[in-house]
Structure 1
Amino acid sequence: MLKKSLLAAVAVAAMLGGVAAEAKTTLVYAARVITDPDKPSLGPSTVTVTDGRIMTIEPGRAAAPAGADVIDLGDKTLLPGLIDLHVHLTGDPGGDFRNEAVDPDEWGVIVGVKNAAITLRAGFTTVREAGSAQYTAFSLRRGTAEGLIEGPRIIAAGVPLSIIGGHGDVTGFREDVHAILDQGYTCTGAVECAEKVRKASRAGADVIKITATGGVLSQQGRGLGAHFSNDELVSIADTAHSLGLKVMAHAHGERGIEAAAAAGIDSIEHGTFADDAALKVMKAKGTYLVPTLMAFEGVRERLGKGIYTPTVEEKVRMTLGRVGQAVTRAKALGVPIAFGTDAGVFEHGRNAGEFALLVKAGLTPREALASATTTAARLLSMENEIGRIAPGMSADMIAVDGDPLGDVTTLEHVRWVMARGRIAD
């Protein structure tokens, strides 16, 4: 009887964590390892992973302990998992804007499950979800974190804050329809904007997304200039920072970019018309530029095909001649450039096409890779968790043929992915 009681106690303790489960160890061997884009590549090496964490990086082919799994990547290059700071997993390109009056929010989760898997297999082990319906991205975030669905680590914004009738608000419908579709995140005045930041935080946002200027793909037809007042921007930034949250600002027009950076917004998304005056403020304030050049590739491919309304097409034609110029000037002025694509405006899975566009705009292959690893991790304040292959870091790694520090297009064909120690199918 005593023996049975002891066995039962041990079983209960094991279920409650009182008895440690056997650690799962995996050894990953590759002919070349890029641990950090700012450091020289390593030759043949073995990376040991235990329970989702990188334990060691050893030269050559290390001996595997008993019970360990061994992954031999042959002559491939192993490097940190990539980070895309601007995606919309819950949407696909080319949809009619009126769908938001038809499709339930739950449909966004279904679409997001598909796109999360596609994004992971493309080598992106962490993404920042830059705007979705109230809880869709939060549901995806939990699903990938718990391993219930295949996908990257998700840093989620939820519903963006916007001005009434601006980019991010519901536009293009009758006023009575607007009232029904309103998600409750427009604000007017510093006090109300602070309230909406707190509301987003309470709902579960990891980051606050705002639309600081007009946008290209929305039905608001007032151009791409500044939307929020200076007092509203300062209120948003200060409130978010007091809650430990950063703010990402969709911004195209130069004066809207300058105002957002001056207010303390942490990153400018798109930054299409950023001039030297705006970029100098960004440099002084430590504001990151997330260029999303691939978004314009997606838009260009659909222009003139009846996909966009005349309102949208007019704004598209305003922007295409300036794409990439802000990146060139940002680099010259020392503004940090972090990787983001706006996937969802183009097909998910093509994210790595951004690398070649960044290089075309003036970044070196090493700088382009850093933008999607170490620089992106710093913007997320996760530099001790992701963005490098180092002991103690999350086991987020990918493998490609060739050397991406010589040819960034190799990153468009990822051959193997591990995220949080789990190997993607």
Structure 2
Amino acid sequence: MSGIGTWTALAIGAPLASLAAAAPAHAESADALAIHAGAVIAVPGERVLGPSTIVVRGGRIAEIAPGHIDVAGARAIDLKDRTLLPGLIDTHVHFSFAPETKLWSAAIDTPEDVALFAFSNAKKTLEAGFTTVRDVGSDGYSIHALRDAINEGIVTGPRIFLSGTSLSIVGGHGDMSGLNRKATEALYPYDYTGACTGADECALRVREAAKYGADLIKITSTGGIMSQQARGLGQHLSDAELASIVTTAHGLGLKVAAHAHGGAGVAASVRAGVDSIEHGTWLDDATAKLMAERGTWLVPTLGLLDGRKEDDASPEVRAKMAEARRVAGRNIQLAVRYKVKFAFGTDAGVSPHGQNARQFRLMVEQGPMTPIAALRSATVDAAALLGQSESLGTIEIGKYADMIAVEGDPARDITVLERVSAVIKDGRVITRDRR
């Protein structure tokens, strides 16, 4: 054990008190783990460690040593033929729905139904290697309950940072449409949807979200590809409304994520000072340059339309889907060209849950970017966007023991991340290939 201290060059500061380490009841657990890995990508983009032992105590990484050594009092996990990486982070998911969710589901589903459905989607996501997510738009408070239950160790799931309901203009992407007026008013009352008009009311919606436990604010600055409207990929929230939302949120210590497809809405959101652009489908050169200058993040959601068939959609939606597919990848190409900060996000919920890692190959193919750059976007960079670099994103002493193992080298073949053979969260083995 004497050699462990000299090997550990990766230490961090104190943990954030707001994040409780979950202790899933049915996951394998021990007071201490000694993970024997064949190789360790501790910090994607930096030197890969050879055969190593990662010691976990109290849900955090306690020691890192070269070679495979016995650790007194620790249960050993044999991953000697695997590559160990930080747990993956998806910064754009929606656990309360899936591609098969119907427009009228709120007429049938109870909050309890939604909570159990969200839990199922969270489980798929965790088992796919994503130990942390940002849920950026789920109706009601079922996701709040799921987040809290995970943090308290009542159920097993990824660490969740959430916005709750998105803020929208009346009739915009976050405000339900496509049903008759009586059905809409009964199922989606005005205050429930997060709709707001004018700077004062939009500020109120931000304060309400903060009051009821949001970790960030999500807005819909433009219409959506899947929303039931022929109109609406241009700017929705006015400049004054955007400025009010951003100022209020930042004053409360909350970041703002802006759903924005059309160029005008993307540009207005960046000028207003949002922290991240979600989608940015029709991003242009001028706005990409501005994002780079201001440090605005892009979450490109390249898998947005995975699993979506145009013949299942309305004519209005089919037209938008076809146009989005025509420009697919341009946003990430501009981000690479102008050195815009970007973080991994899939829009799972619109695309299938549990298949999040498919986006890595799209980032490499469409960027084009290196596999390691794509991996960093879901580890180091995603943690930075969340403001959680002190606790997440790398395998370093003091950080949460969130790790995955794969067979092969993701720097050579990024698709190995689609076949995760072990998932460890908070130092507890969630799943592993016992070969």
The match for 1:321 is 326
Which of residues 338, 343, 350 is equivalent to 2:348?
343
CA distance in 2, matches of 1:192, 1:41: 51
CA distance in 2, matches of 1:96, 1:206: 27
Alignment of 1:158-177 (within 5 A): 158-177=164-183
Shift of 1:206: 0.5
Query: Contact conserved, 2:139 with 2:164, CA < 8 A, in 1?
Result: yes
Query: Contact conserved, 1:89 with 1:112, CA < 8 A, in 2?
Result: yes
The match for 1:199 is 208
| Equivalent AA in structure 1 for residue 250 of structure 2 | H
Which of residues 222, 233, 241 is equivalent to 1:232?
241
| Equivalent AA in structure 2 for residue 423 of structure 1 | V
Question: What TM-score do you get using the length of structure 2 for normalisation?
Answer: 0.90
Which of residues 382, 392, 406 is equivalent to 1:376?
382
Alignment of 1:187 with 2:196, yes or no, is yes
The match for 2:89 is 83
| Equivalent AA in structure 1 for residue 219 of structure 2 | I
The match for 1:133 is 139
Instruction: Spell out, residue by residue over 1:177-205, the C-alpha distance to the aligned partner (whole angstroms, 9 max, x if none).
Output: 22221215111111111110001111111
Query: Contact conserved, 1:255 with 1:278, CA < 8 A, in 2?
Result: no
Query: Contact conserved, 1:271 with 1:289, CA < 8 A, in 2?
Result: yes
CA distance in 2, matches of 1:224, 1:265: 18
CA RMSD in angstroms, aligned pairs only: 1.2
Alignment of 1:334 with 2:339, yes or no, is yes
Q: Secondary structure at the match of 1:417?
A: strand
| Equivalent AA in structure 2 for residue 42 of structure 1 | L
Pairs aligned (count) = 398
Query: Contact conserved, 2:175 with 2:193, CA < 8 A, in 1?
Result: no
CA distance in 2, matches of 1:57, 1:408: 25
CA distance in 1, matches of 2:228, 2:325: 18
| Equivalent AA in structure 2 for residue 318 of structure 1 | E
Which of residues 184, 190, 209 is equivalent to 1:178?
184
CA distance in 2, matches of 1:189, 1:223: 18
Alignment of 1:386-397 (within 5 A): 386-397=392-403
Query: Contact conserved, 2:51 with 2:80, CA < 8 A, in 1?
Result: no
CA distance in 2, matches of 1:309, 1:94: 14
Alignment of 1:144 with 2:153, yes or no, is no
Shift of 1:334: 1.0
Which deviates more, 35-44 or 311-320? 311-320
Q: Percent identity?
A: 48
Query: Contact conserved, 1:165 with 1:220, CA < 8 A, in 2?
Result: no
Instruction: Spell out, residue by residue over 1:110-139, the C-alpha distance to the aligned partner (whole angstroms, 9 max, x if none).
Output: 111111111101000000011111201111
Gaps of 5+ in 2: 1-29
Alignment of 1:273 with 2:282, yes or no, is yes
Question: What TM-score do you get using the length of structure 1 for normalisation?
Answer: 0.92
CA distance in 2, matches of 1:102, 1:284: 47
CA distance in 2, matches of 1:339, 1:187: 29
Alignment of 1:99 with 2:70, yes or no, is no
The match for 2:260 is 251
Instruction: Spell out, residue by residue over 1:180-236, the C-alpha distance to the aligned partner (whole angstroms, 9 max, x if none).
Output: 212151111111111100011111111101101010111133131110011111111
Q: Secondary structure at the match of 2:364?
A: helix
Instruction: Spell out, residue by residue over 1:125-161, the C-alpha distance to the aligned partner (whole angstroms, 9 max, x if none).
Output: 0000111112011111012112222210000111000
Query: Contact conserved, 1:296 with 1:323, CA < 8 A, in 2?
Result: no
Query: Contact conserved, 2:139 with 2:193, CA < 8 A, in 1?
Result: no
CA distance in 2, matches of 1:184, 1:78: 42
| Equivalent AA in structure 1 for residue 414 of structure 2 | V
Alignment of 1:50-129 (within 5 A): 50-65=57-72, 67-129=73-135
CA distance in 2, matches of 1:45, 1:411: 20
Q: Secondary structure at the match of 1:187?
A: coil
Higher Rg: 1
CA distance in 2, matches of 1:369, 1:240: 30
Query: Contact conserved, 1:213 with 1:251, CA < 8 A, in 2?
Result: yes
The answer to which structure has the higher helix fraction is: 1
Which deviates more, 109-118 or 388-397? 109-118
Instruction: Spell out, residue by residue over 1:55-107, the C-alpha distance to the aligned partner (whole angstroms, 9 max, x if none).
Output: 11110012211x21110112100000000000111112122212223322322
Q: Secondary structure at the match of 1:279?
A: helix
Which of residues 212, 222, 236 is equivalent to 2:221?
212
Q: Secondary structure at the match of 1:77?
A: strand
| Equivalent AA in structure 1 for residue 288 of structure 2 | L
CA distance in 2, matches of 1:154, 1:228: 27
Q: Segments of 4+ in structure 1 off by > 6 A? A: none
| Equivalent AA in structure 1 for residue 116 of structure 2 | I
Which deviates more, 255-264 or 175-184? 175-184
CA distance in 2, matches of 1:373, 1:184: 32
The match for 1:360 is 365
Query: Contact conserved, 1:223 with 1:315, CA < 8 A, in 2?
Result: no
| Equivalent AA in structure 2 for residue 413 of structure 1 | R
